[in-house]
Structure 1
Amino acid sequence: MTEQESPFENPTLDKKLHSSKAIGGATFLGGPLAAGYLIQENFNALDKPTEGRNSLIIGIIATIVLFGGIFMIPESIIDKMPKQLIPLIYTGIIWGIVEWMQGDALKSHKEHGNAFFSGWRAAGVGFVALLILAAGIFGYAYMEGSNPAYDIYDEKIAEFSKNETESLTFFNHIETKDDLLLLNELNHKVLPKWDENIKIMQDLITLEGLPSDVMEQSKNLLEYSQLRFEAFQLIKKIIKEDTEKYDSQLNMLNLKIDNLLNKLNES
């Protein structure tokens, strides 16, 4: 402190703060949790403990909301996103918040030539926050992996796929079998299997404990099963009545089936 300066002119003379750059780096590494802790330390140094405590609480809540939201995003969307996009977004947001809440104090601290904490210290906080996040993510993954709903879902989907595969063999010999054999196959094999698949997907839609993207896929598979059942019923009528008057209706159903299959393949 110079002779002209007073403690009121340089209130952070004997204190260390974290720069906004250091907080940003720690945030990129350890998320909002690291940011909340470092912002709290700055507020404590500025004699604002209430704001500091609130910052840490907000950092914890933001971390839970952020990663909870990420888990809800379908994997197909996550896989298409650049890996650094989400960290860059929340780091930019937090950097702006730091500048808004503490920018003037940090600027004054720097202009007076006062000391800042090393960036390595902030990075260490970010690394510890990263370890905490990793432990939470692995814990969540373990709990999800032990969810009995997944075992039920896998068992039912395997049954669904078996029915689908066996029923679609009908098209392999539609030109070689006579009408009587084809109708017999439709009545006793094909239609019952798609009726069973409809019931399977109806049961899965009501199954508790499945994530939203799996539930959405189940709804699409239910619609797919209903379309298949309707199409095979129409094929049965075409064969039984020996007519072409249902061809346009069947083509429309097949188009809907193809569109839904494309949607399912993208998910």
Structure 2
Amino acid sequence: MALGKSSQHLKELTFTDRSPEDTLTLLIAAAKAMDWSISSVAQNGFKARTKMSLSSWSEDVTVVVEEQTVKMKSICTGQIYDWGKNKRNLEGLQREYEKLLSQTDTDGIVALKAEQDSNEDIEPAEVMDTQGQEEEAAGGLKDFFSIFVPTEGYFITPILINLNILIFILMAVSGVDIMLPDNESLLDWGSNFKPLTMSGEWWRLVTSCFVHIGVFHLLMNAYALLYIGILLEPYLGKARFLTAYLVTGILSSTASLYFNDFTISAGASGAIFGMYGVFLAMLTTKLIEKTERKALLLSIGVFVGYNLLNGFQEGIDNAAHIGGLVSGLVLGYAWVPTLKKPADERLQTTSVIAAAVVGLSFAAGVLTMGGGQDIAKFEPEMDQFIALEEKAMVIFDMPATASNAEYITEIDRNGIPSWEEALEVTERIATYDLPEDYLKRNELLKEYCQLRIESYKLIRKMIVEDTDAYQEQINEYNQRIDGIISSLDDI
């Protein structure tokens, strides 16, 4: 099993009983017999793409025929582990070739050649160069640990993976649960949360793209980023790849805020969907060779479709996924003209700056229209409500030795006034432009405060009059209060 920038396998054959031209004809026929797609043919070789299967996303096969030698190479199209598939591809091609060699006479070869020449779906190619195949096979990622080492054409991807892992390690070292972090920890480390983000903590739009909700969440996103990075970064280059990750990440976070009012969102998946969106846009143009484009479009489409459908499960922020994907598609199409002119450095720089400016401006516009200002007010109001509630409830923590006078003083000084202030908080919140769930919750809190005020007044009256006459009514208030607390838990 090889691990490479794209896992690959090389094989050489020697032949003496056929001419190079006849050998090439038989090899092309052998590839077709294996149901491979021939993408291009030159005088001395061809390129083909294997079929997708449960064990691989398909592989690129290059065959070069020299005077008495055939050099073959099978390389995965972004798959990290080939599980021996590349080797089996070349062994299978050799078996089919040898089978045809034993069964096909001169007339048969002429017929095969005529059929191949008449195939308009196969693009002609320049003479294929056999130099550097061995060096290429030796290059790329040598082992598992080289996944984390920046190299030419694979520079930004490992840095992003390393940064995500580093932040997760720091979270773990600080005591955050590596399997299922609690909400407080996620917020402390920069997760996206509308009441906080809209309160001025805009940096959460970025930091949330590097915070993960458990080790499995991290591993899945790291693999998805590795896969798309290997495929896409060589096409985009360092600056565009990093810009695409950050811009689509911010826009996916923005989408999450727009559609989710009380969801804590974290993870690189929004930005990763953005990268897949960029690549999908490119795959629907002629930037990438036709046969390779078809296979990649299918594999990337299946990946995106499956994960979008899976995202409708409870607890998954599909708004971020869709926001990232859509922004990636738009960005990909916008960059197509510049990708056709890779030598124009000024054009490349302009495209990166334009993408950043337009993306950030769009995010700001969406958030401004999203009515998040009142959401931003909600969090500090609730903090005040909780503080007032704690102050009012001190009466129940008083020692058993406290006198009636001390109870009355506590009720008059902190109990009833605190509940009245808390009631004013709920009345202010009722005037805000908030989601229905927020307003429903607030109405319950308002009723909760009113019941507490009436209950405290009866408790005071019962103490002053030294009677149990109000106990039954107090119990009724307490039952209604318990019902409200239960309803709040269900919202």
TM-score (norm 2): 0.28
Query: Which of the pair has the greater relative contact order for Cα pairs under 8 Å at 6+ separation?
Result: 1
- More strand by percentage: 2
TM-score (norm 1): 0.49
